[in-house]
Amino acid sequence: MLIRRMAAENVLWGQKRIQAELAKLGYPVSARTVARYMRDVRRGPPSPSWRNFLSAHSGEIWACDFFCVQTILFRTIYVFFIIHHASREVVHVRTTRHPTSEWTGRQVVETYGWDREPPRFLIHDRDSRYGTTFHLRLKALGIRSIRTPFRSPQANAIAERWVKSVRTECLDHLLILNERHLQRVLTEYVAWFNRWRPHRALEQRAPCSQSPPARTANRHRTRIIARPVLGGLHHVYDHAA
């Protein structure tokens, strides 16, 4: 059929273009009819789903996001963080009262250092704080920007889950005085989160934890010590030396 032939021979032509070409030849057909016959010709392997993309490239993906914190004087402080998909390690967290595209791009540059390679992909939403300067910084580092769809927080679920964790396990139980206080609290929480907090997705291991100690016959007699974190809000448990 002529429609299928045109679609096969001209892969860049859409239904409107083929409709126009048929009209020139004296075959008036609707664009819907053209689309129906094109479907069989252009059908190919399905594109990978979002879940498959995340699974296949999790080791090369970082995700970032912002959230707000109110001080006791009702001043708004913005928190920017970057998390590694595969390990759930929070690789960067900083606070500011005036987030801009330039400031956000600089945070990504600061995360990349001599001991850490930049990721292949960085997932973020469509906020204006991820503007031109931000994308130029990513391009200079060789990072591909992946923007989530509008009003789709589930597309950045790992970052959204960390926001819930830091609120319910830390910020909801503290009064924040100012930006410096918030940065100090977040730094301590992230250190505990990365080294000690277990994750079900990681088989109850922490993102940066070491291998568990070998079991011994008298392990039940070993004394367990506790160290307070965040003023006793959490504790770290370990075997006594």
Instruction: Judge residue 59's burial from the number of C-beta atoms within 10 Å of its C-beta, 0-12 exposed, 13-18 middle, 19 or more buried.
Output: exposed
Better-predicted residue by pLDDT, 124 or 16? 124
CA-to-CA distance for 93 and 70, rounded, in angstroms? 17
Provide the pLDDT for residue 150. 87
Provide the pLDDT for residue 188. 97
Question: 13 with 6: CB under 8 angstroms?
Answer: yes
Residue written as tokens 């990349």? 112
CA-to-CA distance for 7 and 15, rounded, in angstroms? 9
Question: What global pTM score does this model have?
Answer: 0.76
For residue range 19-42, list pLDDT tens digits in order: 888 888 888 889 888 888 877 765
Q: Quick one: average pLDDT of 154-181? A: 96
Secondary structure letter of residue 212 according to DSSP: P
Q: Is pLDDT of 49 > 90?
A: no
Residues 6+ away with beta carbon under 8 Å from 43 = none
For residue range 116-157, list pLDDT tens digits in order: 788 999 999 999 999 999 999 999 999 999 999 888 889 999
For residue range 174-219, list pLDDT tens digits in order: 999 999 999 999 999 999 999 999 988 888 899 987 665 555 555 5
* Total H helices, total E strands in the chain: 8, 7
DSSP 58-71: GGGEEEEEEEEEE-
Q: What's the CATH number for 51-202? A: 3.30.420.10
Provide the pLDDT for residue 47. 61
Provide the pLDDT for residue 76. 97
Q: Is pLDDT of 55 > 90?
A: no
Q: Is pLDDT of 62 > 60?
A: yes
Which parts of the chain are beta strand (E)? 61-70, 76-84, 90-96, 121-124, 144-147, 224-229, 234-239
Question: 187 with 93: CB under 8 angstroms?
Answer: yes
Provide the pLDDT for residue 156. 95
Provide the pLDDT for residue 80. 98
CA-to-CA distance for 135 and 119, rounded, in angstroms? 14
Q: Is pLDDT of 104 > 90?
A: yes
